[in-house]
Structure 1
Amino acid sequence: MSNSIELKIENKIAFITLNRPDVFNSFNREMALSMQEKLDNCASDSNIRAIVIFGNGKAFCAGQDLKEVTDPDLNPGFRKILEEHYNPIIQKIRSFEKPVIAAVNGVAAGAGANIALACDIVLAVENASFIQAFSKIGLVPDSAGTFFLPRLIGLQKATALMMLGDKVSAQEALDLGMIYKVFSAETFEEEVNKLATTLANMPTKALGLTKRLLNQSLTNNLEQQLALESDLQIEASSSNDYKEGVTAFVEKRKPIFNGN
């Protein structure tokens, strides 16, 4: 069994590690399919209440392994790569109703950058960078980069970054609103674990419904979004976590949420 993607579960948190450090965690077919399997495991396991995606080694993810697409015996073709590798990964990250953190520990390039940006919260180490590298080799952005990046930083800036392929430092990404927070190398792992633990102990039923609302807001008009907010607020108010939250507030104690 391959270990190109590792999954560790600890304290209700699933840690998914991209594990091809010798090629900067670039994806080949086997790794992409393994990633989908691990995401499915996280979605179906009710004990998992938050997910963290890391990269092993110096990089988060360098995108597609170009050795695969240039080897006539291995190359699955770009349609297969997108429709069977990357698109399902993006859809899984966005569709299951648990918070997903991208812990960007180094360079995130091409599809690697866009997988990170598809996550709910992006944290980066101070020496990390983000590169829309596609134009450098005559390709167009994929893995939902053209969907998420303009919504995060605006059309004009996203266009420039995608056409020019500029490297964006972690601090620049933070200033642009591309990511949530930047930490030093010394504190990065601790801060990632702290945030993941906070999320895993929150009312994750409500967090999942919030994620559904945010997903729908990308295509809904105002009336549709207001109606969905009403429906999901009713669903949230029927949860055990809501009852616990209100009871704890009245009793002036810290709530203990169970995620349902």
Structure 2
Amino acid sequence: MSDGQFGTLRYEIRHGGAWIILTRPERRNALDPDLISDLGTAIDTAQRDSRARSVVVTGTEDAFCAGADLRFIQSLDSPAAIVEYFLQPLTKVLRSIRDLSKPVIAAINGHCVAGGLELALCCDLILAATTARIADGHSRFGLLPAIGGANALTRAFGPYRAKEMLFLGEAFTGEQLHQLGLVNRAVPAEELDTVTSALVATLATRSPSGLARMKQMVNEGGEVTWDLAARRELTLTEAHLAAGDPGEGLAAFTEKRVPVFGSRR
């Protein structure tokens, strides 16, 4: 994929990051097989793209992602078909976002519901317009968060707030979720692009291998005991120290200059 429009999304390099912009505004960027496939291709491309030091996922017009395209879900003739043609491919793509070695930022510009929230929760940082409407929403349709959403909300909020969001399906604003700790930064809608761009530019100055291993530490550390996490972090640190970036960082400190990190891992 080169820069430009690609089916249901647009891929751009800006400020040292790959921007993946969902472009199905007529369906509020709802997830269907085409969008899931394009998103997977975009993530794979961003992983290989040496110009991209981080990745941004965002939407168009008034929507980030409205979750599953329910018209497509209704067209499937059995629960097994829903699993095979929707849930399994989506699980694969969301796992690739979690496993991506580069930081992934969700820039929630508008409506973010159900599968759209699960998409955002797989990212490393969440920025949101203060007025964005964000909800789980599955309970309103008798559905379940099938792609790790319940687990992610529980880790973010604890069980009681997670159950409230899951059971009631009510929408929160970006500002409310910032106050509750789910959203890293909430800004006026007209400033979201600028704030996201500044964050992308900052990440481009950091050690790629360092960010990759920090992401791995956090993702793994939340799932194991402290002792096991400490051992794993030591192993990752030993590998990182053998790469070029720590030496460059220390040299820059000694020489009183800005470090120039590479992409060696």
Residue 103 of structure 2 corresponds to which residue in structure 1?
99
Is 2:87 the partner of 1:82? yes
Q: Check the 8 A contact 1:69/1:76 in 2, yes or no.
A: no
Residue 162 of structure 1 corresponds to which residue in structure 2?
166
Q: 1:175 aligns with which of 176, 179, 185?
A: 179
Is 2:240 the partner of 1:231? no
Q: How does 1:13-24 map to 2 (within 5 A)?
A: 13-24=17-28
After the TM superposition, list the runs of 4 or more consecutive aligned residues in structure 1 that deviate by more than 6 angstroms. none
SS of aligned partner of 1:186? helix
SS of aligned partner of 2:189? coil
How far apart, in 2, do the equivalents of 1:27 and 1:137 lie? 16
Q: How does 1:216-255 map to 2 (within 5 A)?
A: 216-255=220-259
Residue 69 of structure 1 corresponds to which residue in structure 2?
73
How far apart, in 1, do the equivalents of 2:30 and 2:233 lie? 39
Q: How does 1:1-260 map to 2 (within 5 A)?
A: 3-71=7-75, 77-80=81-84, 81-84=86-89, 86-260=90-264
CA change 1:140–1:72 in 2 (3 A) is closer
SS of aligned partner of 1:77? helix
SS of aligned partner of 1:102? strand
How far apart, in 2, do the equivalents of 1:36 and 1:102 lie? 15
Aligned length: 259
How far apart, in 1, do the equivalents of 2:176 and 2:160 lie? 16
| Gapped regions of structure 1 (runs ≥ 5) | none
CA change 1:249–1:159 in 2 (3 A) is same
SS of aligned partner of 1:27? coil
Deviations 1:163-198 (A, max 9, x none): 110111111101111110001123211100000111
| Gapped regions of structure 2 (runs ≥ 5) | none
Deviations 1:107-132 (A, max 9, x none): 10000011111100000011112111
Aligned-partner residue type, residue 15 of structure 1: W
- How far does residue 69 in structure 1 lie from its aligned partner after superposition? 1.4
How far apart, in 2, do the equivalents of 1:168 and 1:25 lie? 19
- How far does residue 154 in structure 1 lie from its aligned partner after superposition? 0.9
Q: Check the 8 A contact 2:129/2:175 in 1, yes or no.
A: no
Deviations 1:211-232 (A, max 9, x none): 1111211322222111111111
How far apart, in 2, do the equivalents of 1:63 and 1:78 lie? 14
